[in-house]
A = this chain, B = another copy of it.
Amino acid sequence: MTEAGMTRKKFDLDAMFKPQSIAVIGASSNFTKLSGRPLRFLKEFGYAGKIYPINPNYREIAGLKCYPSLAAVPGEIDLGIVGMAAAAVPAIILECAAKGVKAVTVFSAGFAELGTEGQRMQEELRQAAWEGGVALGGPNCAGLVSVHENATATFASAMDRGALLEGPVSFVAQSGALGTYIFAAAQDAGVGFNYWVSTGNEAVLGFADYVSYFVKQESTKAVIAYMEDARNGEAFKACAIEALEAGKPLIILKVGASEAGTKAAASHTGALAGSDRVYDAVFEQCGVIRAHDVEDLFDLATISMARHYPGSPAVAIMGISGGAGILMCDRSEEVQLRVAALTTETVEALREVLPPFASAVNPVDVTAELVAVPGLLKRSMEIVLADPGIESLVIFLGLQLHTGADLARDIALTAATTEKTVVVNWIAPPAQALSILRENKIPVFPDPARGIRALGALVKYSQRRQRYLNRRQEMRNGKGASTLSQPGTNQPSIETVNHIIQEARQQGRTALTESEAKEILGLYGIATPKRHLARNGGEAALAAQELGFPVVVKIASADITHKTEAGGVRLGIQSSQEAAQAYDDLINNAMAYNPKAKLDGVLVEEMIGGDGTHDGVQVVVGFKQDARFGPVITFGMGGVFVELIRDFSLRVVPLDEPEALAMIKETKAYPLLTGYRGDAPRDIAALCQVILSASRLAQDFKEDLAELDMNPVLVLPEGKGIKAVDALIVLK
């Protein structure tokens, strides 16, 4: 079990988030100070548990008896709040352990974020907490809030604004300041909270521990997060899958997508947090919804409150304005929602109730009659919601100072009678209408585009979750296991690969030769062109004859990795004489290019599809290592496509066949592979297997192999498989 896994088993997070008693250690009577503010908040928000201020300098603070030490407290302490200078904290944690304090949140800064000495102190802290069984949040964090329990163990300024909006969203923030601001603005946007936590340096409890805990709470329906660095890739994936399993959307605003942002993040967090594109891949694989800015985070939290999640992108749009209908169509297309055709019955039924100048097709424009005729919206909604072809309904309204509340009630009543998703986009809504919709769990957005974008994300989430559940079911039925790229080719193969790697290492090489690489691919079931290693011109001529013309010859040397640059490749050899001549030329070129290179001879290979463009579609398959998530499989179109338009897809291992297929479909390679412009369809099934084999190889040798690059892989017509024409394997 990983340490992260152990953390979650070992510590009692109920004590942290549902504390019966809270000790404010080093409590201050100055309520503007770090150690005074939590005390004030706990009193102001009416925390119902016991509050123990600890400070030898006071008898009493704010009417509460103040204790000289933790040991002096008569009862049990669930949660301790620690805000004193860093140097004093490790000793406090030992005291907490001695007293049996179950959890602490440490505000104090001055640990790992400040360099070597801070790291040492943080390690001390970690050990003390771990050994003493104290669930430690922080250090260098802004604390936590349990809104349902009025437990405001924080100094966050969002609390200064008074009453908190309660709700089913929990929030994990990897930044105290930004987490606080987002908390406040989310409340203004109507997002009600269950738990909020600032993770700080994550010395003991980490991001994944909190997510995992929140997902388990009945009262939490969705978890939002601000993230700078997953830190522990495995723990992160595990908590994301827990959330997916539970059907509770995990929505993450992850920063560091740009070059400048990544650089800033590295200097801010002191760590390279892995490639942002790999995060996208992990989020996709684990069903995490990615938010791209702060409002996006609110919108995704809002849509998560919907009573029903649509399983298909078929959406109906209905509103009071034709223009808004067009705008929502535009945005729907961008997020792959389908403005579905309504059935003839639906259209006819709508025509009966709508005025003649209204639009009874999707997008439905009820026109201003919607306001003038009471019940018209309700009736129109019922008709559209009854259409079997649609899964969600987006309603657009604006203003309606006088009739707004009635319209909101109609929407809520109608939504309650359906299992379809109802979303409302309402520009400048009256406050009462807004309240009615929110009370009735109708997601409502202040802008026609925002509701559409959020719904698009929800549909993708639902579909991803359905795929996950289907696969889990298959695994349970014993069917799907074989398709998941679990480690493992057979044992003798493993030994052969090990032998090749060891030999290369003994020779001080960091890259395998093309022959070695292709041998390994063969062991993993990846087809390569037939080949012979020729050690002189005569052998080259003979090998060429055996393979059949045309052939390709390439220089074989572990010291020459850029063969083309070295004049070490010749294509389209048509005769034995040419092959013998090519041998001499290549050896000469190589000697001129790098006189010190040890030359093994030349590799004579069958030539697949002439110059490589006629018979096969060229793609690139490989893997590389990510700092956070380990081996990452890459797939892309060959040639300029990958480099010029960066058209490639990524997944972390392990993967299964549907995921491999999804990788292919994400790229522009897919239309070319399915038979572009009358071309023959290609062997996509074989290509999926190549991706899975690469995944297995990456897992089997994750300690040894840094990188695999098969470029190109030729995908032959359906039924004819693939050929990995060139391959490079780099050792760690």
Q: Is A593 an interface residue (CB 8 A)?
A: no
Q: Once the chains bind, are B268 and A359 in contact (CB under 8 Å)?
A: yes
Instruction: Provide the bound-state CA to CA distance between A613 and B399, in Å.
Output: 60
Contact with B along A247-281 (1 / 0, CB 8 A): 00000010111111101110110000000000000
A357 to chain B, nearest CB (A): 7
Q: Once the chains bind, are A175 and B294 in contact (CB under 8 Å)?
A: no
Task: From known contacts A294-B447, A645-B645, infer whether A428 and B363 are also in contact, taking CB-CB under 8 Å.
Answer: no
Q: Once the chains bind, are B449 and A228 in contact (CB under 8 Å)?
A: no
Task: From known contacts A427-B185, A668-B645, infer whether A295 and B264 are also in contact, taking CB-CB under 8 Å.
Answer: no
A37 to chain B, nearest CB (A): 13
Q: Once the chains bind, are A428 and B181 in contact (CB under 8 Å)?
A: yes
CB contacts under 8 Å to B, within A279-338, are 292-295, 320-327, 329-334
Q: Is A60 an interface residue (CB 8 A)?
A: no
Task: From known contacts A181-B427, A265-B326, infer whether A293 and B449 are also in contact, taking CB-CB under 8 Å.
Answer: yes
A655 to chain B, nearest CB (A): 26
Contact with B along A528-550 (1 / 0, CB 8 A): 00000000000000000000000
Q: Is A69 an interface residue (CB 8 A)?
A: no
Q: Once the chains bind, are B158 and A264 in contact (CB under 8 Å)?
A: no
Q: Once the chains bind, are A255 and B427 in contact (CB under 8 Å)?
A: no
Q: Once the chains bind, are B181 and A267 in contact (CB under 8 Å)?
A: no
Contact with B along A397-439 (1 / 0, CB 8 A): 0111110000000000000000000000001100000000000
Q: Which of B180, B259, B645 contacts A399 (CB 8 A)?
A: B180
Q: Is A89 an interface residue (CB 8 A)?
A: no
Instruction: Provide the bound-state CA to CA distance between A359 and B264, in Å.
Output: 9
Q: Which of B226, B260, B450 contacts A333 (CB 8 A)?
A: B260
Q: Is A157 an interface residue (CB 8 A)?
A: yes
Which B residue sits closest to A177, measured CB to CB?
A: B321
Q: Once the chains bind, are A330 and B255 in contact (CB under 8 Å)?
A: yes
| Residues of B contacting A178 in the complex (Cβ-Cβ under 8 angstroms) | 321, 323-324, 398
Task: From known contacts A401-B157, A668-B644, infer whether A293 and B448 are also in contact, taking CB-CB under 8 Å.
Answer: yes
Which B residue sits closest to A371, measured CB to CB?
A: B157
Instruction: Provide the bound-state CA to CA distance between A251 and B339, in Å.
Output: 28
CB contacts under 8 Å to B, within A475-520, are none
Q: Once the chains bind, are A184 and B259 in contact (CB under 8 Å)?
A: no
Q: Is A132 an interface residue (CB 8 A)?
A: no
Q: Is A720 an interface residue (CB 8 A)?
A: no
| Residues of B contacting A704 in the complex (Cβ-Cβ under 8 angstroms) | none
Q: Which of B294, B359, B668 contacts A427 (CB 8 A)?
A: B294
Instruction: Provide the bound-state CA to CA distance between A334 and B260, in Å.
Output: 11
Q: Which of B157, B267, B325 contacts A359 (CB 8 A)?
A: B267
Instruction: Provide the bound-state CA to CA distance between A158 and B427, in Å.
Output: 11
Q: Is A12 an interface residue (CB 8 A)?
A: no
Q: Once the chains bind, are A428 and B188 in contact (CB under 8 Å)?
A: yes
Contact with B along A683-715 (1 / 0, CB 8 A): 000000000000000000000000000000000
Q: Once the chains bind, are A255 and B327 in contact (CB under 8 Å)?
A: yes
Task: From known contacts A181-B399, A450-B295, infer whether A261 and B330 are also in contact, taking CB-CB under 8 Å.
Answer: yes
Q: Once the chains bind, are A292 and B255 in contact (CB under 8 Å)?
A: no
Q: Once the chains bind, are A226 and B293 in contact (CB under 8 Å)?
A: no
Task: From known contacts A114-B357, A181-B398, A268-B365, infer whether A295 and B333 are also in contact, taking CB-CB under 8 Å.
Answer: no
Q: Once the chains bind, are B399 and A158 in contact (CB under 8 Å)?
A: yes
Instruction: Provide the bound-state CA to CA distance between A180 and B371, in Å.
Output: 15
| Residues of B contacting A597 in the complex (Cβ-Cβ under 8 angstroms) | none
Instruction: Provide the bound-state CA to CA distance between A257 and B189, in Å.
Output: 29
Q: Is A167 an interface residue (CB 8 A)?
A: no
Q: Once the chains bind, are A293 and B185 in contact (CB under 8 Å)?
A: no
Which of A175, A260, A295, A400 has most chain B Cβ within 10 Å? A260
The complex is assembled from copies of this chain, and their number is 2
| Residues of B contacting A258 in the complex (Cβ-Cβ under 8 angstroms) | 329-334
Q: Once the chains bind, are B399 and A264 in contact (CB under 8 Å)?
A: no
Instruction: Provide the bound-state CA to CA distance between A161 and B160, in Å.
Output: 31
Q: Is A203 an interface residue (CB 8 A)?
A: no
Instruction: Provide the bound-state CA to CA distance between A399 and B174, in Å.
Output: 18
Q: Is A727 an interface residue (CB 8 A)?
A: no
Q: Which of B160, B260, B294, B332 contacts A401 (CB 8 A)?
A: B160
Q: Once the chains bind, are B264 and A325 in contact (CB under 8 Å)?
A: yes
Q: Which of B109, B256, B330, B676 contacts A257 (CB 8 A)?
A: B330
Q: Is A49 an interface residue (CB 8 A)?
A: no
Q: Is A640 an interface residue (CB 8 A)?
A: yes
A104 to chain B, nearest CB (A): 22
Task: From known contacts A181-B398, A357-B114, A449-B293, infer whether A323 and B174 are also in contact, taking CB-CB under 8 Å.
Answer: yes
| Residues of B contacting A579 in the complex (Cβ-Cβ under 8 angstroms) | none
Q: Once the chains bind, are A446 and B185 in contact (CB under 8 Å)?
A: yes
Instruction: Provide the bound-state CA to CA distance between A627 and B175, in Å.
Output: 52
Instruction: Provide the bound-state CA to CA distance between A114 and B258, in Å.
Output: 51
Q: Once the chains bind, are B339 and A294 in contact (CB under 8 Å)?
A: no
| Residues of B contacting A268 in the complex (Cβ-Cβ under 8 angstroms) | 322-323, 325-326, 359, 365
Instruction: Provide the bound-state CA to CA distance between A253 and B321, in Å.
Output: 15
Q: Is A671 an interface residue (CB 8 A)?
A: yes
| Residues of B contacting A295 in the complex (Cβ-Cβ under 8 angstroms) | 446-447, 449-450
Q: Once the chains bind, are B264 and A363 in contact (CB under 8 Å)?
A: yes
Instruction: Provide the bound-state CA to CA distance between A711 and B321, in Å.
Output: 43
| Residues of B contacting A23 in the complex (Cβ-Cβ under 8 angstroms) | none
Q: Is A726 an interface residue (CB 8 A)?
A: no
A181 to chain B, nearest CB (A): 3
Q: Once the chains bind, are A322 and B672 in contact (CB under 8 Å)?
A: no
Instruction: Provide the bound-state CA to CA distance between A378 and B332, in Å.
Output: 44
Which B residue sits closest to A401, measured CB to CB?
A: B160
Instruction: Provide the bound-state CA to CA distance between A361 and B671, in Å.
Output: 46
Q: Is A182 an interface residue (CB 8 A)?
A: yes
Which B residue sits closest to A161, measured CB to CB?
A: B401
Task: Given contacts A260-B332, A260-B333, A292-B449, list 4 more A-B pairs with CB under 8 A.
Answer: A185-B446, A260-B339, A264-B326, A644-B671
The 7 closest A-B pairs by CB, nearest first: A181-B398, A293-B449, A258-B333, A261-B329, A175-B323, A181-B427, A260-B329
Q: Name 8 interchain pairs, CB-CB below 8 A, sorted by A.
A: A113-B357, A114-B357, A160-B401, A161-B401, A256-B326, A260-B339, A293-B447, A295-B446
